[in-house]
């Protein structure tokens, strides 16, 4: 047996295969402030990591935005945990207040990225999801044991991030992550993950994941599903080639 050492495949959150099937539009867009008293907006409407928005691309977007007030709008199923942590750190170091808005979905790595904001809000019909780090490894029992140890350390770091924001005890957060917990906007606010819920008129996106992308995700009505775009299909092909 051999060990596949691609970082994204070994230690990413539950993303690489499931997320390629979600059909969410791919976007990383910087909208400069129209006036000095307005905020720059960055739209993160994509996966996080190799098959979506990398930490490098995100930090370049932050540099383009420049110092000052910033709004990050999120509609993302998450992705690579290390890219997400690097993006979290970059947001924390931004020279200016950061307002985070979950427009549709902040799942997996996108859920802790959202916590980098000084103020975090969600659209009333949006979702936030937390779960344990997930990855793939091929090898012998030593490889499996080592990978499990690293995944446990990653989970510990994420527990600390969530606990610091919410004020909940680490054991409670651990149980939520073990269960793959989905929060509505109201539930996320009650649990301490977000600060405010937007007025319905401010919503800019829909959390349209294909049913089954995650084990415990809420079911979407049949008429809300969309056909995966060409880019998603291409990512599926690349994933299949890499796995083959």
Residues belonging to the active site:
108, 131
**Would you say 129 and 218 are in contact if contact means Cβ atoms under 8 Å apart?**
no
**Would you say 98 and 68 are in contact if contact means Cβ atoms under 8 Å apart?**
no
In angstroms, what CA-CA distances link 213 with 17, 23, 128, 216?
Answer: 9, 10, 14, 9
162-170 contacts: CB < 8 A, separation 24 or more? 162/112, 162/115, 162/130, 162/193, 165/115, 165/192, 165/193, 166/191, 166/192, 166/193, 167/192, 168/192
Selection from 106, 134, 140, 138 nearest residue 122 by Cα? 106
Helix axes 81-92, 55-65, angle to 10 degrees: 20
Selection from 95, 97, 89 nearest residue 117 by Cα? 97
Return the H-helix or E-strand segment holding 181. strand 181-184
Q: In angstroms, rounded to a whole number, what is the distance separating the alpha carbons of residues 232 and 137?
A: 24
Tokens 């990855």, residue?
A: 135
Helix axes 141-166, 81-92, angle to 10 degrees: 30
């Amino acid at each position: 047996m051999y060990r596949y050492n691609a970082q994204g495949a070994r230690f990413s959150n539950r993303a690489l295969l499931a997320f390629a099937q979600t059909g969410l539009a791919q976007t990383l867009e910087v909208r400069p402030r129209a006036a000095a008293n307005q905020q720059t907006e960055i739209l993160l409407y994509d996966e996080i990591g190799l098959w979506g928005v990398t930490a490098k691309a995100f930090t370049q977007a932050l540099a383009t935005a420049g110092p000052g007030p910033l709004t990050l709008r999120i509609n993302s199923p998450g992705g690579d945990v290390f890219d997400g942590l690097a993006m979290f750190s970059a947001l924390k170091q931004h020279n200016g207040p950061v307002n985070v808005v979950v427009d549709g979905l902040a799942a997996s790595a996108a859920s802790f990225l959202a916590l980098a904001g000084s103020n975090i809000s969600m659209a009333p019909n949006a979702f936030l999801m937390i779960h344990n780090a997930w990855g793939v490894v091929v090898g012998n029992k030593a490889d499996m044991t080592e990978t499990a140890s690293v995944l446990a350390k990653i989970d510990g770091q994420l527990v600390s991030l969530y606990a610091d924001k919410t004020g909940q005890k680490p054991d409670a957060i651990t149980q939520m992550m073990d269960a793959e917990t989905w929060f509505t906007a109201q539930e996320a606010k009650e649990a301490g993950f977000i600060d405010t819920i937007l007025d319905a008129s401010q919503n800019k996106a829909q959390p349209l994941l294909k049913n089954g992308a995650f084990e415990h995700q809420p079911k979407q009505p049949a008429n809300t599903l969309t056909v995966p775009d060409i880019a998603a299909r291409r990512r599926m092909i690349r994933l299949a080639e890499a796995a083959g």
